[in-house]
A and B are shown apart, each in its own frame.
Chain A
């Protein structure tokens, strides 16, 4: 499978626990994005990386959230001290940053988080 891969697909955790999601982008894609989608809403941008550099973070990304892309390949999104409001699907996407206009971005199937 050469698509964007996310793991785990589903996670149920107790409030206050930490969780980590992993995203493996398409090989050689240098840009990686994280989005959050709650029920009945469209995805909301959280953060993105170009290679290993985190270039922008949304104000939605509170201090409890941290994302990394240590070697410019896979990325992790960690949520500390989870709250019920963190229940959502976390989507990862990747694309190639080039001078060509109109590159396609590819989304993974998402990681569902339920905080109980």
Chain B
């Protein structure tokens, strides 16, 4: 069975500082990996996804993530955070391309301080 662990429940970062959110997955086959962002009371917005190819994936809003098979990780990074990046971030894994029976992590809440 597929599963996702996001070790950090809450991260506080200063505006302009870098951000890294950790994600570890468990899945026997080739994983299809996603990062989503959710603002309070809202649905999910896709930041980026990894299906194959280059292990460094660029997404929207200046985010990127790196797939490391040896570490079963797919960490999300942003070089310089903006106050608008305050939100909850979810990592998810899917069983195959175009199959969206996703397993989500519990999420990491990001607070941005001025």
Contact = CB atoms under 8 A, between A and B. Distances in A.
Interface of A: 4, 31, 33, 40-45, 48, 56, 91, 93, 95, 97-98, 100-105, 107-110, 112
B60 to A, nearest CB: 11
Nearest to B105: A42
B106 A41 contact: yes
B1 to A, nearest CB: 12
Contacts of A56: 101
A4 B46 CA distance: 14
B53 to A, nearest CB: 10
Given A91-B43, A109-B42, A43 B90 contact: yes
Instruction: Return the 6 tightest CB-CB contacts between A and B, nearest first.
Output: A42-B104, A107-B43, A101-B97, A109-B43, A107-B44, A105-B100
Nearest to A104: B46
B51 interface: yes
12 contacts: A33-B100, A42-B104, A45-B102, A56-B101, A98-B98, A100-B98, A101-B97, A101-B98, A102-B97, A103-B98, A107-B44, A109-B42
